[in-house]
Structure 1
Amino acid sequence: MIYLDNSATTKVLPEIMDTFVAVNETYWANPSSIHEFGHKTNQLLQSAREQIAEILRTASAKIYFTSGGTESNNLAIFGLANKYKFRGKHVLISQIEHPSIIEAAKQLVVMGFEVEWIPVDASGIIDLNEFSKLIRAETMLVSIMHVNNETGAVQPLKALSTIVRRESKAVIHVDAVQSFGKLSIDFKRYDIDAITISSHKIHGIKGSGLLALSKTREIEPILFGGGQESGIRSGTTPVPLAVSTAKAMRIASTGLEKNSTHMKNLTDELVQFLHGFERIKMISPENRAPHIVTFSVRKIKGEVIINALQKRDVIVSTSSACSSRQTKTSHVLKAMHISDDYIKGVIRLSISPLTTEEEIETFKKIFTEVMNVIKGD
């Protein structure tokens, strides 16, 4: 099998699974317990928190472990909005965010906040001029993903944060689920306030993630109970997941430069190959993340191509695994004003550091065979 759907999820690295199993076998006490066993388990948990804080350049007390990207994004939207609503109730969200941001923002409207949607250009990148027109002195929250999960478009975070700091006192949340481990990101590099990370996108284990805050920011909880995670995320902290997430982040950050170069070389090769087909339109912009190439075939449904490739043991996806089983058109593609001839035929290829040159060569051969067989409308 050739697996080119790594933006949906990645294969767990053996060393990360080994860590998960070892912690389950050795440090299975509740980290909140006051006995020595609980204390040792809590020490391991705090060590994981410190390692992540060092990578993201923040304080360990500002790392909150969650069940993954969706929970972290919800915590960011609701928790930051409630904490800083004294500054105003105006919120800016980009049109191309993940559903866990979009749907949460819609709930903010029900709660009495004013949400405006930041437009993007035809490349799926935020229009800085339009953003400058939308932001106000009373804007209190801005949420923008670093890398779009459907197209790989990279947002100009530094330019955006500069505008925010100049025009408002808003807190800036960044969904880095698709960027961490592929591009450099930390609080000081981009002058941002909150970062979402999901473990299973970086060869970690599903059901684990985190929300990190900068040293000076605070947040309100959205889950209530025993007061774990400094009162921000109640529920017994799953130490094996937290420790394996820290390890996944260490591996990803240590190999960042090498892995990014490897993936960029492979996706550049894919882009050049795909340009050879008259019926294909590139959806990913030139300024894309190193691991994603998204394109569309004119007047052909993406599912047709996916099924044809799958019969040949090649796994790809439509624009997003989160919405691929739904019939509605992607909100990201709508925001980019993709024409009707192409909007149904979108295919996303997403690779990982484990993807090989041989796999890409095999994909090119199989895809050519598929394109020679499939006819358009």
Structure 2
Amino acid sequence: MLYLDYAATTPPYDEVVDSVAEVMKKFYGNPSSLHKLGVEAERLLLKAKDIIAEALTVKPSEIVLTSGGTESNNLAIKGTAYQHRGRGNHLITSQIEHPSVLEAFRELEKEGFRVTYLPVDQTGQVVIEDLQEAICDQTILVSVMHVNNEMGRIQPIAAIGKILADFPKVIFHVDAVQSIGKLKVNPRELGVDLLSASAHKFRGPKGVGFLYRRDGLLIKPQLVGGGQENGLRSGTENVPLIVGMAKALRMATENLDEAIRHKYELRTLITRGIKDEPAFLLTGSDQPDEMAPHIVHFCFPGMKSEVVVHALEYHGYYISSKSACSSEELTPSDVLTAMGYDRDRASSGLRVSFSETYTVSEISGFVQKLKDIVQELQPTARTTRGER
């Protein structure tokens, strides 16, 4: 079995599982309690924040613990909009954001905020000139993801940050769920004010994440109650998962340069195999450094994505489809549609995402099996396309 769906979730490190179990057994106190068990739990909590902050080269006080990427995105976006609506009601995001971002903006639109959804070019990149034109005196927030979760395009976050430096009233949020632990991420160097992360994307436990919030930046809490996380996120902290998240992030970033290099090597192996097969169409940029090292996305026009997914699953290879169909009619991907692809191509997307732990031999075996399967499915694809 070869799991190739790391962009969806990742298997936790064995050491992380052991740490979570140990903390659950031995350090079950409430971090807010004044007795010894509470103090021990709080000490673990603070240590975890230190580790996370060190990985991002930020201050521990700038880390807000959450339940994951969705909560972090909602806290950043809604918290900014509500806190600063007195100085403007215009928000900017892109057309290819994760649903936890897009749905948050759509809710804010219903409440009277005006939202600009930036288009992307055919490689999936936000066009800087469009962003510059969209900014006005009412703009209070720009939210652009770092790595697109569907097809792996890296967005020009540093360039956007540099532009927004000239607009001190505009707050910059980045959904970094697909880049933390996969790429080098330094919020200060990128010019970012708010940055979201989720532990299960970098081999940590599910149900925990964090939001980087630049010191001094005010946002309105979305959960109120006990006042934890300096009042920004009430609720008793899940110490075992938080400790597991910190351990996973430290492990993911310890040898990051080598991991990135190896994953780009594996990515090149996959992309060459896809380019060799005429039935496939590679998605994104042709420049490797503009694409995330752990994601390859391609289309098989005329073929339902889930057919390929299940055919590979039968042979022990697990990839994903971001255009899954709930009926006989192909449902086009919103991301690929935004990139200008026609319905046929936008309905046949397939995503391969992987770990640096895999070998060239393992990935070569996957590429060969993919080629074998496409030969088996070609007649069906031609019939679907109406070819004679």
1:191 equivalenced with 2:191 (yes/no): yes
How many angstroms apart in 2 are the aligned matches of 1:331 and 1:280?
Answer: 19
Match of 2:332, SS? Answer: coil
Query: Does the Cα contact within 8 Å between 1:30 and 1:41 map onto a contact in 2?
Result: yes
Query: Does the Cα contact within 8 Å between 1:153 and 1:288 map onto a contact in 2?
Result: yes
Query: Does the Cα contact within 8 Å between 2:182 and 2:202 map onto a contact in 1?
Result: no
Query: Does the Cα contact within 8 Å between 2:20 and 2:241 map onto a contact in 1?
Result: yes
How many angstroms apart in 2 are the aligned matches of 1:355 and 1:213?
Answer: 34
Alignment of 1:1-377 (within 5 A): 1-167=1-167, 169-285=169-285, 286=287, 287-319=290-322, 328-375=331-378, 376=381, 377=384
1:168 deviates by: 5.3
Deviations along 1:221-265, one digit per CA (max 9) or x if unpaired, are 101111111111111100011111111111112121111111110
1:40 deviates by: 1.6
Match of 1:353, SS? Answer: coil
Q: Amino acid of the residue matched to residue 208 of structure 1?
A: V
Taking every aligned residue pair, what percent have the same amino acid on both sides? 39
Query: Does the Cα contact within 8 Å between 1:136 and 1:168 map onto a contact in 2?
Result: no
Match of 2:30, SS? Answer: coil
1:325 deviates by: 6.4
Query: Does the Cα contact within 8 Å between 1:64 and 1:212 map onto a contact in 2?
Result: yes
- Worse overlay, 353-362 or 92-101: 353-362
Which runs of 5 or more structure 2 residues have no equivalent in the other structure? none
Query: Does the Cα contact within 8 Å between 1:135 and 1:168 map onto a contact in 2?
Result: no
How many angstroms apart in 1 are the aligned matches of 2:132 and 2:27?
Answer: 50
Match of 1:124, SS? Answer: coil
Match of 2:276, SS? Answer: coil
Deviations along 1:106-164, one digit per CA (max 9) or x if unpaired, are 01112221111011101110011111111113210110100000010000111111222
Task: Give the aligned CA root-mean-square deviation in angstroms.
Answer: 1.5
- Worse overlay, 360-369 or 56-65: 56-65
Query: Does the Cα contact within 8 Å between 1:318 and 1:324 map onto a contact in 2?
Result: no
Match of 1:24, SS? Answer: helix
Query: Does the Cα contact within 8 Å between 2:269 and 2:364 map onto a contact in 1?
Result: no
Which runs of 5 or more structure 1 residues have no equivalent in the other structure? none
Change in CA separation of 1:328 and 1:368 when aligned onto 2, cut-off 3 Å: closer
TM-score normalised per structure 2: 0.93
The number of aligned residues is 375
Match of 1:349, SS? Answer: strand
Deviations along 1:5-60, one digit per CA (max 9) or x if unpaired, are 10000111101111111111111100011112101210110111122122223222
Query: Does the Cα contact within 8 Å between 1:306 and 1:315 map onto a contact in 2?
Result: yes
TM-score normalised per structure 1: 0.96
How many angstroms apart in 2 are the aligned matches of 1:324 and 1:244?
Answer: 35
Match of 1:145, SS? Answer: coil
Q: Amino acid of the residue matched to residue 205 of structure 2?
A: I
- Worse overlay, 82-91 or 173-182: 82-91
Deviations along 1:319-338, one digit per CA (max 9) or x if unpaired, are 37xx7769743211111011
Match of 2:115, SS? Answer: strand
Match of 1:84, SS? Answer: helix
Deviations along 1:85-122, one digit per CA (max 9) or x if unpaired, are 23211100111100000000001112221111011101
Q: Amino acid of the residue matched to residue 350 of structure 1?
A: S
Query: Does the Cα contact within 8 Å between 2:277 and 2:371 map onto a contact in 1?
Result: no
Q: Amino acid of the residue matched to residue 333 of structure 2?
A: S
- Worse overlay, 191-200 or 209-218: 209-218
